[in-house]
Amino acid sequence: MRVKKANAVQEPLFHLAKRSEIAVWKAWVIRLAVILLGFIVCGLAAFVLIEKLQDDPSKIVDFYKCFYKGAFSTSRKLWKFLKNMAILQCISLAVTPAFRMRFWNIGAEGQTLVSVLGCIAVAFYLGGTVPAGVLLVLMFVAAVLCGMIWALIPALFKARWNTNETLFTLMMNYVATFLVSYFLIVWVPSGSSTLGKLNYGKLPSFGHDYLVIILIALILTIGLYIYLKHSKHGYEISVVGESVRTAQYSGINVKKVIIRTMAVSGMLCGLSGFLIGAGLDQSVTTESVGGQGFTAIMVSWLAKFNPLVMLLTSGLISLLNSGAAQISQDLNVNGAFPDVITGIILFFIIGCEFFINYRIIFRKRSQSILNKEGVK
Amino acid sequence: MNVWLNFLIDSLAFGATFMYGSTGEILTEKAGHLNLGIPGIMCMGGAGGCLVLNLVGNSNLPGFLIVILGILGAFFMSVLMGLIYSFLTITLRANQNVTGLALTTFGVGLMKVIFSKLDSVVYLVGPKELYRWPFAGRTDALQCLGVMFFLAVIIALLASWVLFRTKVGLHLRAVGENPGTADAVGINVTRYKYVATMVGSGIAGLGGFYYIIDYMASMEAYLSLEAFGWLSIALVIFALWRPHMTIIGSTVFGFLFSCSSYITNISWINVTMAAKPLLKMLPYIVTILVLIVTSIRNKREDQPPQSLGLPYFREER
């Protein structure tokens, strides 16, 4: 510490302290305020990027209306919004168990894509030769197995040799992508590499086409919440996440937990892949997952790895996407605009966590706190 | 024989894209930050450079000035992107993976919006010849190696020299290995992290600009750029966190990535179309193998920086 004058200790302008706890409502007020701020910045960005707004600034109202319009204005849009949210929610749930034990699995994209591939491969080769029900079961098994294998490869190396899992799982994504393009060339003799919609292996639906998917996502959310919060496995995952040493001393087999948890993660990715393959597309492309595997990481993190809160965060991200897609359409801007909006809002949410976790104590204030303590 | 020489030069030229990207990422990772925003940063670097060229491309400025302005535009735009990342992860101690992925989403999206507004006649058709110096006008393979290729090699060598031969580099590596110890020695951890991350981002951004304006030199180039950002992160592992190794590594990657189109040209190797994606998979498989082998051998100097991915909070020591 630098001494300026005798007995006068120079204190920095501010210092940081971890908050021991913060009222839940306070944290949510901060988050909401920050999201609002993010939306204002999005408006500014839109003003810079969209010519129509520059010509007629009053259109900025339309800009914000689009977020409502894109997701809720018609029942078709609402169903589509709910479907997108359900798929995103499933993949986000899938990455969560691994994250809770601080295993940075950023390979959900590849794990899901391989599952879609596996499920479509079964439909492609066996479609028409076995009864529809059996086919669906086989597709499901194939998807779950593929997802599990893709997740287990990095997990085994992590458990045995402590191989860096972030980089390993990242690379596995691209292996998966090129595997899909390989099979597309093999399967489509015309050379166009686009596989038409298969006639087999459609997930049965009732009520609405998307209702089954949405219900599965909901059941999965509750199931995973119970698994993580109220089961022995969930407890072990938390302990390994807190500290590997503590886990070892308390007799938890860390290697086993890593491998088992990644298997669960991979299987959930497999289920998501099954929903995409059998429930929606009946086909596979390299873009079948379309980056949702990466978005899911952010969704899961924003929800603090809590499956129930994840419904909020996946809803928010889906809302941003459908709203911004509407903006692209109404205000005539490039189709990549939703990503810009999502990025800006994410920056704000990511940044705001700091102000929830830490307190900034300025010089004067801390002085007065010190004085108070001195009185004691 | 000539085919193979062309092939080698083409691999070198292609590889320069990853050479920039991974040299930048190595600097960042040596400061302890795994920046998954590199694809977004490279995209925005390309957008920044072309944005400047869009302004000056038609002007009467001397050619070398236009070249330099483009490079500076790319550099500063990506430094800005690096600043967003640095502020969130260093000052606000946000999770690095999440911040990086958000940055990639943002950068790739914004780049596409920006390019939809640029005029390719102005930013590309005129300036692209300028970037071919000193081999402009040649008809053989050498024309691929423009000024920005040599810049990539120089930057990679310079980065290695700074990292492993100077005091600044020693301090930087200390910060990445153990920021607590570095702080105790009196190294300004925050400043080192900021500078390394931002300069690293700037260098990576040049890769995106190089790919669009020089290597591909086409108006659709920006659509395929993101994938090479991820490949750059892979190359960091392949190069074992040594910038000079990226020169060899990027050539190998360029070779593996473009060999699919060459091999089908050579009659005595009978390759079907289906093998192409499998060949393109090779760089990633090779990277995974390198990752596995280094973790099994467990040699200290081949490992990722020890505090990679962890935020540093002084008050929590």
Which value does ipTM take for this structure? 0.90
Question: Which residue of chain A comes nearest to B285, CA vs CA?
Answer: A175
Please report which residue ranges of A50-164 form alpha helices under DSSP H: 51-55, 60-72, 75-100, 108-126, 132-161
Q: Mean pLDDT in runs of 10 for chain A (376 residues)?
A: 50 76 82 90 88 81 86 90 95 94 90 96 89 92 96 93 88 92 87 80 82 94 95 92 88 92 95 93 89 91 91 92 87 85 91 84 64 52
Cβ atoms of B55 and B72 closer than 8 Å: no
Q: Which chain B residues are within 8 Å of A113, Cβ to Cβ? A: none
The shortest C-alpha distance from A154 to chain B (Å) reads: 10
Q: Which residues of B touch A338 (CB under 8 A)?
A: 109
Domain-embedded: residue B310? no
CA-based radius of gyration for chain A: 24
Q: Which of A19, A48, A109, A174 to mutate to test the interface with B (most CBs of B within 10 A)?
A: A174
Token look-up 């040649």 returns B138
Q: Does residue B92 sit at the A interface (CB-CB below 8 Å)?
A: yes
Q: Across the strands, what pairs with A14?
A: A362
How many structural domains does chain A have?
1
Question: How far B53 CA lies from chain A's nearest CA (Å)?
Answer: 18
Q: What are phi and psi of B35, to 5 degrees?
A: -95, 95
B20 in a structural domain: yes
Q: What domain count does chain B have?
A: 1
A28 found inside a domain: no
Residue A1 confidence (pLDDT):
46
Nearest CB to B94 within list A333, A339, A350:
A350
Q: Would you put residue A162 in left (φ > 0), alpha (ψ -120 to 50) or beta?
A: left
Q: What is the pLDDT of residue A4?
A: 45
Is residue B312 situated within a structural domain?
A: no
Give dist(CA B311, CA B4) in Å, integer: 47
The reply to whether B224 touches chain A by the CB within 8 Å rule is no
What pLDDT, on a 0 to 100 scale, did the predictor assign at position B269? 57
pLDDT in tens, B87-130: 999 999 898 988 999 999 999 999 999 998 888 888 888 788 88
CB B316 within 8 A of CB B180: no
Q: CA–CA distance from B231 to each of A49, A104, B224, B256 (Å)?
A: 30, 19, 12, 12
Joined together, the tokens standing for residue A150 give: 């893709």
Q: Would you state the pLDDT for residue A365?
A: 55
d(CA B46, CA B204) in angstroms, rounded, equals: 10
Q: Examine residue B51 and state whether it is found in any structural domain, yes or no.
A: yes
Mean pLDDT of each 10-residue bin along chain B, 317 residues long: 78 92 95 93 95 87 88 96 95 90 93 89 82 74 82 95 95 92 92 96 96 87 87 88 93 82 60 75 88 85 82 73
Q: Which CATH number is A177's domain given?
A: 1.10.3470
- What does the pLDDT read at residue B265? 60
Residue A374 belongs to a domain = no
Give the chain B residue nearest A354 (alpha carbons): B92
> CA-CA distance, B46 to B214, in Å (whole number)?
11
**Chain B residues touching A337 at Cβ < 8 A:** 109, 113
Domain boundaries, position A222: 38-365
* Cβ-contact A169, A107 below 8 angstroms: yes
Global pTM reads: 0.89
Tell me whether residues A164 and B295 touch, CB distance under 8 A.
Answer: yes
Distance to chain B for A179, nearest Cα, Å: 7
In this structure, chain B runs to a length of: 317
Domain that holds residue B149: 2-304
Q: Is residue B317 part of a domain?
A: no
Question: Is B83 a domain residue?
Answer: yes
In chain B, which residue's Cα lies nearest the Cα of A351? B88
- Nearest CA-CA distance, residue B271 and chain A, Å: 13
Do residue A161 and residue B298 have CB atoms under 8 angstroms apart?
A: yes
Query: Would A371 be classed as within a structural domain?
Result: no
In a domain, A19, yes or no: no
Calculate the alpha carbon distances from A162 to B85, B99, B303 in Å.
27, 24, 11
pLDDT digit string (tens) for B245-274? 999 999 988 888 777 666 666 555 556 667
Residue B311 lies in a domain: no
CATH of the domain at B196: 1.10.3470
Residue A20 lies in a domain: no
Question: How do the residues of chain A divide into helix, strand and coil, expressed in percent and rounded to 5?
Answer: 75, 5, 20
Please give the angle made by the CA atoms of A107, A109 and A111, to the nearest 5 degrees. Answer: 70
Q: Is there a domain that residue A111 lies in?
A: yes
pLDDT confidence of residue A318 = 93
What is the rounded distance in angstroms from the CA atom of residue A258 to the CA atom of residue A101? Answer: 8
Q: How close does chain A come to B307, measured CA to CA in Å? A: 12
What is the amino acid identity at position B89? T
